[in-house]
Structure 1
């Protein structure tokens, strides 16, 4: 076997080691086992005696390594391997279990599996329990309450989660997932090295082995790597008095967390939304450009009980004209409106010009013509 092909196989083993947290030696032996040898040393000896793996054996190693990586990240230079990859992608993103369709995707390193009225989320945190959600109208009628369906669905979601975590691990320094003999690990984001770490979220004290095994999520509260630091700089004693996390560093998912979530669309009125609707209604009430400018310039105030005061510029909104559409919208929303007049600086001279047209372009030209009579324009500046 050529040195190039042996190096290629060794590279695959190295990537598998980083994705799974195994040592390089363990990964090499596993790859050798896939090729029919007791260990890597036996494989190297055979390669020196002109042994060469056939294409089917190489394909089996690529498939074995690929399972530890997200589908989007695995790369090969083999056309057949790429074809298998795309076929697997199509099967993984959409499928059917027991007659129930699902879609499978990765969102911010969390695996989401969803169907009609249900979803399963497997968090990035290896120690967190999967979250199963149903909607109120489908509660107890969803397939996720069938143990056989749930087992198969969780199997697919967990397999993809393993691949996602494999990608995360390979992106990080090796020392972030593999403590040295003294339990020292390197933070994947900050680069600090220590055998003891602190969670800013729960004030937990964590060993290097614990945090590396849990993909840098706090094994106590589940906080992300963003909350893990080498020193508890927020404490006066730098964390000396903080207690160790109560959970061992091992991964224990436990039973799925079932939740009923009412995700039906609901209107939640606030000041911004009420103001938007009422200003739109004022524009409906406007019959010319002057009134439209008045609607845009109106001051709309919403109090804590969602009642509204609308102040209309007296030079832009006709005295005595009720904003009928705005009052209708207010009634639909169940809120009270108080109308007042105000005086302020208007954007252009001669507001009456806008009362003769509903076209903004026509109004603009008329306004420019009016300014031109005074040998100037709205934007022209003179030294006089």
Structure 2
């Protein structure tokens, strides 16, 4: 690879990084130079004129570095060595420890979630949204997120990963969707339309192109997604011309986390589907032979609005004088009244009495096949 080709490759990587982080190209060039041990891009170019060229390992390190995003403030004020250490820390962030507390980190629909025992922290895709801290209890002195030092470290890690995710989104979008021109005009990343003024379907206000681009096309007022952002307020008579500006404090990731206590204990919701499942299982417990098992499976079970149960059992499969003891016990445990009824319906096989002779399905199947064969019939296997 020639000198010009290698420098072009570095410039291309820097350009990709600038798009991902919504910064200027010269800032990204200086950052790449810092990764290679130079004070800035000018120093790197000077070294290249004196026959310095990056080796394959250095190029690979830059490619890996560019594949991640870091906070924009670091590009302007951070030291390259500090950023490199931070990058190395992020590479190991999927599972780790903060002090003696283990955590796992994952991305779900562009939201970044860190979770541990009895707690979680979520940083939404929306750059203007506050982190959400959820715990299963109030502050009992055991949950680590109530420790300010732990919380600060955890938030830093989750926010950094969120910036990586947003960088990936920005790289996929057109450059003009994440950085306005001199007139403040930006292009919608989904609709492709360009404008300097935008409107949220849920807010009665105008949004500038710079505002919406900086907020990754989420409404700075209510946080609505890019799907709800349009260049005209078509739902207004004057298409939004009279609407006031949407007010925002310009915060990114909110300065104060939103703490929420969530009861994550399992809850039993006894709806019709679950009641029916338990009652049918109890009928199978009551069944002592194949005919009765088939009767339990074929039984018609319905639950009324007051959760009382009606059970209709096929008379040819379930003896009319047999009381389903286990079924009644389960119903009593659930606080249900039971009404039993015998019905006549189409049964699946001839000679239901054969099922009364065995509790083995395989034995019943053979008996049934033999009976059909004695009458000159063979199984009709339909797809």
Where in structure 2 are the equivalents of 1:178-189 lying within 5 Å? 178-189=179-190
Match of 2:313 in 1: 312
Contact 1:119–1:134 under 8 Å retained in 2 = yes
Extract unaligned runs of 5+ from structure 2: 71-84
Partner Cα distance (1:361, 1:203) in 2: 70
The 3-state SS of whatever aligns with 2:368 is: helix
Which segment is superposed worse, 57-66 or 200-209? 57-66
Q: TM-score, normalised by structure 1?
A: 0.83
The 3-state SS of whatever aligns with 1:133 is: strand
Match of 1:379 in 2: 380
Where in structure 2 are the equivalents of 1:25-174 lying within 5 Å? 25-32=26-33, 40=41, 43-53=44-54, 61=62, 65-68=66-69, 88=89, 91-136=92-137, 139-174=140-175
Quickly say closer, same or farther: Cα 1:25–1:87, change in 2 above 3 A: closer
Match of 1:14 in 2: 15
Match of 2:293 in 1: 292
Partner Cα distance (1:237, 1:342) in 2: 67
Quickly say closer, same or farther: Cα 1:363–1:116, change in 2 above 3 A: same
The answer to whether 1:343 aligns with 2:349 is: no
Match of 1:332 in 2: 333
Partner Cα distance (1:85, 1:152) in 2: 12
For the aligned residue pairs, the C-alpha RMSD in angstroms reads 3.3
Where in structure 2 are the equivalents of 1:256-271 lying within 5 Å? 256-271=257-272
Extract unaligned runs of 5+ from structure 1: 70-83
Contact 1:37–1:43 under 8 Å retained in 2 = yes
Q: CA deviation at 1:146?
A: 1.7
Give the total of aligned pairs: 368
Q: CA deviation at 1:107?
A: 2.5
The answer to whether 1:358 aligns with 2:364 is: no
Quickly say closer, same or farther: Cα 1:359–1:125, change in 2 above 3 A: same
Q: Cα deviation per residue 1:37-66 (whole Å; 9 max; x = unaligned)?
A: 676456435533434357897687557535
The 3-state SS of whatever aligns with 1:175 is: helix
Quickly say closer, same or farther: Cα 1:338–1:243, change in 2 above 3 A: farther
Partner Cα distance (1:380, 1:59) in 2: 62
Contact 1:139–1:260 under 8 Å retained in 2 = no
Quickly say closer, same or farther: Cα 1:298–1:229, change in 2 above 3 A: farther
Contact 1:298–1:310 under 8 Å retained in 2 = yes
